[in-house]
Structure 1
């Protein structure tokens, strides 16, 4: 659960998925989008994955603005279908 100033702001799940982690259900209240909150949450989750050497995978709807967010944080397109874009991010070594 994501909270901002004690109030619900969104949610995200990061779960084991084979030899990687799967980033799922990343939602942020529309009125808070574009404020850097999503980037801050994503940076924290990815830092934890980097420390563990974990690859992270996700899928995003084709045409979604969220794809740009993920690309800024190192995700690249692995494959696409008519609905989703499947992206992957290799761990960053310190």
Structure 2
């Protein structure tokens, strides 16, 4: 996660705790990032895409991704009964494909693995993001005409019980 206290190389990232004032910047990024998939599904609405983020924004569980000292994205890890829900994982389009999203996600998953937690998320049907999640051990748990629900046990590849880890409400 953090890359030390010394100078960072260009393109390095850090996570910082979200603040209530971050909501509008994250809502705007959500609209930009999700627009192509929502349009493909016939569900894009300029207002609704932003309002859904505003309505569910939880700064206490959200981290802001910072690259080169600038806002680059967000990720939320919300406590759940048997682990965590990964939500609002957005990265600025000009930073996608550079390994930043994978590195952020691997860092968060390592924390969840250490805590023995399952992690769940949903992704829009046919979204390119699904490939990233599946590469990192997520599998389909359920799906509907719009969303695919994925789950990842702690330390994928090793047997685990779905109730194997109670959430400790870790900050991301």
How many Å apart are 1:19 and its aligned residue?
1.3
1:51 aligns to 2:114 (yes or no): yes
- What is aligned with 1:22? 85
More strand by share: 1
**Are 1:64 and 2:122 matched, yes or no?**
no
Structure 1 residue 31 displacement after superposition:
0.5
| Offset of residue 17 of structure 1 | 1.1
How far apart, CA to CA, are the structure 1 residues paired with 2:80 and 2:92?
A: 26
User: Where in structure 1 do 4 or more consecutive aligned residues deviate above 2 Å?
Assistant: none
TM-score (norm 2): 0.53
In the TM superposition, residue 77 of structure 1 has moved relative to its aligned partner by 0.4
2:95 pairs with one of 22, 29, 32? 32
Note the aligned Cα RMSD (angstroms). 1.3
Equivalent residue, structure 1, for 2:73:
10
> How many aligned residue pairs are there?
94
* Distance of 1:17 and 1:83 partners within structure 2: 22
Flag the structure with higher helix content: 2
